[in-house]
């Protein structure tokens, strides 16, 4: 009989019913027990750190809401954000922002996913600044207009996915449009670069450095692996020289040495800083990309070659997409670093947000308010850097579909 029963079991294999995990390992209590109070040493540590965190948070809270004198920031908000940009031309910056919020809204509409977090952050910033009590009425109207543009273009992008092409063209043309609006280019009244400043300058420098160093860095990385010795050694020397020089030195060189190469023609200081930051960032970008190229198995090159794809196609379709994906965290880290490094341009006399903040602290009416100004600057940078880091994680996730 035992033989019979085992055969019956074979014919109708019975799966064991799934049982729930023990109660102590799930829920809030389970989590607390597992993570905070798993042993007496751990419990002690939890209590000490908890107490310290409480007092720290309390101190910060008290200072932010009762101790700090924020009027230094609210009075000088325009100065911090756009520097000495002439007041009667500020509408140009607002119009630019409208343009970007329209583009962002459209991309958000059909893009979803990654665009979500960007749009929520920007929208949130707009919403909060709209509610600030101390801003002027005209500013408030501009902010509301921007928020409305963002949201309405989201619905347009959502409803008509065909606007994709227009949106891409828009992003592509955005740089000349920015320069046109901020500078005027002779059509609008000219606002020379020495009036560009504040956080706007930081963003401009960072965006130019990021956008330009991306292709440049890829070319340098590919060049470094080239079989042509001249190309290869040019790239190696460029990368190693730039990586061996502090950014401050590169900035000074851009200011004082670039005119020597241009035959005495004065190079605009902002343009010089853009070139310096781009060159600097490109060298690091190249090394990041090279890391990605090296992580690719040889079989990928061979498979592509065996299919008859030439080296350009192999690079564009097979190698770069995988190599870049592998180093997204490193690339975004580099971008965050270069964004923060834009504050260094104060040493060549540009009025970025940090320089303006420092000059305000030096004013007699704001004596003793250094903390407020610096904290404001820190928060502004943190929001944008964190957004970049967050987007990078989202990007990684969305690209890891069906990973090896």
Partner 1 sequence: MLDEKNLQKPLEEREDIIEVKNLNKWFGKHHVLKDVDVNVKQGEVVVILGPSGSGKSTFIRTINALEEFQKGEIIVDEINLSNDVSNIEAIRKETGMVFQQFNLFPHMTILKNITLAPIWVRKWKREKAEQVAMELLERVGIPEQAHKYPGQLSGGQQQRVAIARALAMQPRIMLFDEPTSALDPEMIKEVLDVMKTLARSGMTMLVVTHEMNFAREVADRIILFDDGEIIEEGTPTELFDNPKHERTKMFLSQIL
The residues that touch partner 1, with contacts defined as CB under 8 A, are: 297, 299-300, 302-310, 313, 317-318, 321-322, 325, 399, 401-404
Q: Which is nearer to partner 1, 210 or 320 (CB)?
A: 320
Of 209, 208, 200, 250, the residue nearest 351 (C-alpha): 200
Of 255, 147, 115, 277, the residue nearest 202 (C-alpha): 277
Coil vs helix vs strand at 187 = coil
Q: Which is nearer to partner 1, 86 or 321 (CB)?
A: 321
**Is the separation of the CB atoms in 387 and 323 below 8 Å?**
no
Q: How far is the CB of 233 from partner 1 (least distance, A)?
A: 23
Query: Residues with Cβ < 8 Å from 137, sequence gap 6 or more?
Result: none
Q: Which is nearer to partner 1, 7 or 403 (CB)?
A: 403
Q: Which is nearer to partner 1, 13 or 299 (CB)?
A: 299
Q: How far is the CB of 163 from partner 1 (least distance, A)?
A: 23
Q: What tokens does 20 get? A: 């729930």
Which segments of 112-163 does DSSP mark as H helices, in order? 113-131, 137-159
How far is Cα 374 from Cα 124, in angstroms, rounded to an integer?
22
Q: Which is nearer to partner 1, 189 or 321 (CB)?
A: 321
Q: Which is nearer to partner 1, 70 or 313 (CB)?
A: 313
Of 141, 77, 100, the residue nearest 379 (C-alpha): 77
**Is the separation of the CB atoms in 354 and 377 below 8 Å?**
yes
Q: How far is the CB of 318 from partner 1 (least distance, A)?
A: 6
Q: Which is nearer to partner 1, 159 or 397 (CB)?
A: 397
Residue that the structure tokens 């707009």 belong to: 126
Q: How far is the CB of 245 from partner 1 (least distance, A)?
A: 36
Residue that the structure tokens 């005495």 belong to: 264
How far is Cα 140 from Cα 135, in angstroms, rounded to an integer?
7
Q: How far is the CB of 399 from partner 1 (least distance, A)?
A: 8
Q: What tokens does 83 get? A: 């520097």
CA distances, 227 to each of 222, 231, 308, 310, 317 (Å): 10, 8, 20, 15, 20
Q: How far is the CB of 321 from partner 1 (least distance, A)?
A: 5
Q: How far is the CB of 398 from partner 1 (least distance, A)?
A: 12
């Amino acid at each position: 009989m035992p033989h019979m029963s085992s055969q019956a079991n074979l014919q109708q294999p019975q799966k064991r019913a799934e049982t729930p995990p023990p109660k102590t390992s799930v829920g809030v209590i389970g989590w607390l027990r597992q993570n905070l109070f798993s042993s007496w040493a751990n419990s002690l540590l939890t209590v000490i750190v908890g107490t310290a965190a409480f007092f720290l948070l309390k101190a910060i809270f008290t200072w932010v809401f009762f101790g700090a004198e924020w009027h230094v920031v609210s009075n000088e908000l325009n100065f911090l954000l756009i520097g000495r940009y002439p007041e009667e031309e500020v509408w140009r910056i607002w119009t630019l922002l409208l343009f970007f919020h329209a583009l962002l809204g459209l991309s958000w509409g059909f893009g979803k996913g990654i665009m979500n977090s960007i749009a929520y952050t920007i929208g949130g910033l707009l919403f909060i600044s709209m509610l600030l009590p101390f801003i002027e009425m005209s500013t408030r109207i501009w902010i509301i207009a921007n928020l409305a543009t963002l949201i309405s273009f989201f619905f347009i992008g959502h409803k008509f996915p065909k606007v994709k092409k227009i949106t891409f063209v828009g992003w592509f043309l955005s740089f000349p449009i920015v320069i046109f609006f901020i500078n005027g280019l002779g059509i609008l009244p000219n606002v020379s670069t020495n009036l560009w400043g504040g956080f706007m300058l930081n963003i401009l420098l960072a965006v130019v450095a990021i956008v330009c160093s991306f292709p440049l860095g890829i070319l340098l990385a590919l060049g470094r692996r080239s079989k042509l010795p001249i190309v290869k050694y040019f790239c190696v020397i460029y990368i190693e020289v730039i990586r061996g020089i502090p950014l401050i030195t590169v900035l000074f060189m851009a200011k004082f040495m670039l005119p020597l190469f241009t035959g005495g023609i004065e190079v605009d200081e902002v343009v010089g800083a853009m070139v310096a930051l781009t060159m600097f960032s490109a060298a690091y970008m190249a090394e990041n990309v090279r890391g990605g190229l090296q992580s690719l198995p040889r079989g990928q090159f061979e498979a592509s070659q065996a299919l008859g794809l030439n080296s350009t196609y192999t690079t564009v379709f097979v190698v770069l997409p995988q190599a870049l994906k592998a180093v997204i965290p490193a690339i975004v880290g580099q971008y965050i670093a270069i964004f923060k490094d834009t504050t260094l341009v104060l040493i060549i006399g540009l009025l970025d947000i940090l320089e303006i903040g420092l000059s305000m602290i030096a004013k007699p009416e704001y004596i003793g308010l250094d903390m407020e100004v610096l904290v404001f600057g820190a928060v502004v940078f943190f929001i944008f850097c964190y957004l970049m880091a967050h987007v990078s994680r989202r990007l990684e996730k969305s690209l890891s579909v069906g990973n090896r």
